[in-house]
Chains A and B, each alone.
Chain A
Amino acid sequence: MKRVLIMEDNIDLAINWKNAFELNGCKVTISHDGDEASTFLEKEEFDLVVTDMFVPHKRGGLHVLFTLFKMGKKAPPAIAVTGERISSRKNEDVNMFLRQAERLGASSHIQKPFPPAELVVLAQSFWDKEDQQ
């Protein structure tokens, strides 16, 4: 059973993603900010991290990705979720942020809104690659 850690402060979205993963036989843990997710990563083992990048008033996705970066090879794949269009010129900050995220180890990124099943397909592609290796 694959273990998935979701870091998302919007509980409605978090539950939707959780349900999608659970439907595919995964065990899901939800955390609401970067600090909590990082502590989870330090204490428990996961096969995938799905992290929102921006959490108001709290440390968010970058903190999670940094924790994963520190874990080195032991780190599970991560999917960074952003609420804004990556290609928009107006969002240079966002692009910079995501580039940073990729440098830190985000295996992929996905932009809201998206159907939860898409998240599972993406996750499965990582796991399939891992299995092949």
Chain B
Amino acid sequence: MTQNQPSQKTREEASLENCDKEPIHIPGNIQSFAVLIATDEKLKIITHCSANAETIFGQSPDNILGQTLDALLGREIIHTLNNVLSLSTARTQRERVTTLRRGNDSFEIWAHIYNNIPILEFEKIQTEELGKSEAMMLIRSLLGRLGGIDTIQEALSDAVLGLRALSGFDRVLLYKFDRNGDGEIKAEARGPELGSFLGLRFPKWDIPNQARELLLKAPLRTIADIHSKPVPLLSQDPSAPPLNMSLAASRGQSPIHNDYLKNMGVASTMTLSIIVEGRLWGMFAFHHSSTRHIGPSLRGAAELFAQFFSLHMEQRIQTERNSARTKALEHQSVFMDATDTASNISELVKEIAAPFCEIVDADGLALIINEDVVLHGDTPDQETTKLIAEKILPEMAQTIVTTDSLGDYGFDILPIAGALAMIIEQEERYRLLFFRSEASLSVRWAGAPDKEILEDEDGPRLMPRSSFKAYIQQMKGKSQPWESHSLIAAEEIRKTVIKADIALARRLSHQEERQRTIYIAELNHRVRNILALIRSLSRRAKDSSHSLESYAKALEQRISALSAAHDIAVNHIAEGVSINVIFETEIKPYQNTEENRLVMTGETYVLKAGIAPTFALVAHELMTNSVKYGALSSPDGSIHIDVKTKRSGVAITWEERGGPEVISPTRRGFGLGLIETAIPYEMDGDASVEFLKQGLKVSFWLPETFVTPLSDVFKPTEKYKVSIDNQDSTVPHYVIVVEDSMMVAIDMAEMLRSLGVKDVKTCASVAQAKRSMDAKLPDFAILDVNLRDEMSFEVAEYLIQHQIPFCFATGYGSDFRVPEGLSEYKVLTKPVELNTLRSTLKSIYEDHKT
């Protein structure tokens, strides 16, 4: 997570840079409470020693420099020292070596290696106010308390109280650093000597960057007495680079820092870093109004506590994060569920925007996808939102970017003041932004936050503040800062949106695949049905033809009509087919271009594409009958078609005029049969034929379901009667054929009769089949699986209940699977061959009988 700030180099920044350059790790001196010695890399020759070395060793520094360490400390200590410096930790922290006795005094020796240079520090052992065991008891008690504390604030308060009791310092403060680097005093324990800093904020430049780095490297830092004179560090080779004392406890203090402490009224100080996840999370600062130096044992106890405390904080912060994460995840399932119905990510985000804003503590949200912007709540307008995203969100940003002051980026859009932005998906340029409104904020600074800058030969330099008196600054144009729980929640939201985006893409792709499969199956079904239809047409053409030539002609015309109707259906599949277009297409072969023998009146209705082929066949039969026997057989004859709304449907009237006198036929052929039955059968409509002397009159009625959007209108169909042919005692007497395609049903009925079935009943729907079976139970049934808008499984269950044998027939091919529970029943694939039907019928029927 980064707090992105605009870059603008100022004199203030130059002074801060100069502060950052102060070489505090190589001060060239130490504090007087210790003696420091450094040797060559092999721990042989003493290369550096502090000017006060004589106080312990009784020799002048000049004598000590160049001497072997062996000679100065003795072989026994060197042996221990070698062991200690072999520890892996000796390069990252100071390690205790042993106690050195000189006369009546004892000194603790601590050692470490920095940049391959062994460094030894000697510190006189003093009588501490608090014994070692008492100190450890106190630490133990404090650590025990931490486990039972509910809030972080309580833990901070207890910690400073405990450390003050341990150290005896006048004041112990806990600084918590925010993401800008400013520190705020979150807890304080103090005696009466020093005033309170509780709640005050210290600007980030109070602790320069290189000091922060040292606080990370060496978590404990002590300045025993700001008034004491620094002790110079002498070198065997004055031209050698200065000794790096980053880890040394006695490292000399910075004069600027000294002035800072002096202005604070502090004479001695100690700091303990609180390092959480490798970062400087905070710091315990110990202040004393007079000189105070605590020995290495107590310092060690305090350091130990700070380490445990850091771990404890890490755990608590982790718990807080988990809690924020859990809160965000609670909405994930809702969001993911929404992917089942949404068609794009914008729709999804809109749906869940309110809870997203709630868990991020935001007032508004914006989703940018390429040029499109979806807004929710309090946000800038779309164009400004895009500009904000471009300005604050770096290209390829991997992290969440926040600002509590959009004004810093030149956006004067109050009350919107803060933004949190993240990239969801780079390629599609998905950006998600949260916005916060301006908050009424005031900051209590420890002293006026204006920097006092001094110009010297090195350029501008910050002067330590002279006052730490509370200075209240009202913050304008700022939102509440984006806290870590908001960032964690935002990170979870990012993951959720990415996940949902993927799920959505997968679902849409799956949906396309499924639709493709349905289209293929449907196509297969249609092809098979058309083949069955053609076979039926060919049989009928054969029956009504007396020569091969007339058979071929009749067949060709019927197939052409079917083809024309099919073309119409396919070409107008989306919008359906006009009734007018069908009649106009059918008459075309029988009239010259200049003639107008078709007169159409009334309204224009559009047929559903699915029933167009049937209607086209009816029109074709009417037209061919008229050409052969009716109005179109006469040069002056004409056809009058009227279409009008009637009884929740459409009434179509066909009237022939100007033709020869009509004689009622003695025998009903296929054409007339089709005209009379197709529409009632396939469309639940009506058809009536009147052989009027002046010309044939045919009236149809089609329910609105086939010409208008679906409705519940249902009209009883006329029953199709078939004549009885041969019979065979080994086959069932009465068979029901449930088939929505009339042509196929007729064909099937005829084949059954040819096999010896006495009575065949054809039904186009489940309702018809049930009505028929209620009236009379069949001996056998053949069920087309897919009836117009329903499946025939209900009929199958009815048959099973009544123990009537049956089989399925389907145009879906051999891949078709009936549902579980019906899988034992045979499935005939359309078009059904006579032999297949015979063997299937016999085997099922005979099995059933036995």
Contact = CB atoms under 8 A, between A and B. Distances in A.
Interface of A: 9, 11-12, 14-15, 18-19, 30-32, 36, 39-40, 42-44, 57
B192 A40 contact: yes
Contacts of A9: 165
B263 interface: no
Interface of B: 129, 138, 141-142, 145, 154, 158, 161-162, 164-165, 168, 189, 191-193
A15 B158 contact: yes
B192 A30 contact: no
A57 B129 contact: yes
Contacts of B168: 32
Contacts, number: 36
A15 B141 CA distance: 11
Contacts of A30: 161, 189
B191 A36 contact: yes
- A31, A39, A42 pick with most chain B CB within 10 angstroms: A31
B165 A39 contact: no
A43 B192 contact: yes
Contacts of A42: 192
A68 to B, nearest CB: 15
B191 A31 contact: yes
- A14, A32, A42 pick with most chain B CB within 10 angstroms: A32
Chain B interface, >50% SS class: helix
Contact of A14 (B129, B154, B161, B191): B161
A9 B162 CA distance: 10
A11 B191 contact: no
B23 to A, nearest CB: 39
A18 B138 CA distance: 17
Contacts of B158: 15
Contact of B161 (A15, A43, A44): A15
Given A11-B161, A57-B129, A40 B191 contact: yes
27 contacts: A11-B141, A11-B142, A11-B162, A12-B142, A12-B145, A14-B161, A15-B158, A15-B161, A15-B162, A18-B161, A19-B154, A30-B161, A30-B189, A31-B191, A31-B192, A32-B164, A32-B165, A32-B168, A36-B191, A39-B191, A39-B192, A39-B193, A40-B191, A40-B192, A42-B192, A43-B192, A57-B129
Contacts of A14: 161, 165
A91 to B, nearest CB: 24
A12 B192 contact: no
Contacts of B142: 11-12
Identify the 9 closest CB pairs spanning chains A and B, nearest first. Answer: A11-B165, A39-B192, A40-B192, A12-B141, A43-B192, A36-B191, A11-B162, A15-B158, A32-B165
B129 A11 contact: no
B639 to A, nearest CB: 100
B129 to A, nearest CB: 7
A14 B142 CA distance: 12
Contacts of B129: 57
A57 B134 CA distance: 13
A58 B142 CA distance: 22
A114 B360 CA distance: 45
Nearest to B170: A36
A15 B192 contact: no
B145 A15 contact: yes
A42 B193 CA distance: 11
Contacts of B165: 9, 11, 14, 32
Contacts of A12: 141-142, 145
Nearest to B162: A11
- B142, B161, B193 pick with most chain A CB within 10 angstroms: B161
A48 to B, nearest CB: 17
Contacts of B154: 19
A42 B189 CA distance: 18
- B138, B165, B192 pick with most chain A CB within 10 angstroms: B192
A102 to B, nearest CB: 26
B192 A11 contact: no
Contacts of A44: 192
A12 B161 CA distance: 9
A29 to B, nearest CB: 8
A12 B193 CA distance: 23
Nearest to B144: A12
A18 B191 CA distance: 15
A44 B195 CA distance: 11
Contact of A36 (B138, B141, B161, B192): B192
A15 B158 CA distance: 7
Contacts of A19: 154
Contacts of A36: 191-192
A20 to B, nearest CB: 13
Contacts of A40: 191-192
A101 to B, nearest CB: 22
A56 to B, nearest CB: 9
A23 B183 CA distance: 28
Contacts of B164: 32
A30 B157 CA distance: 12
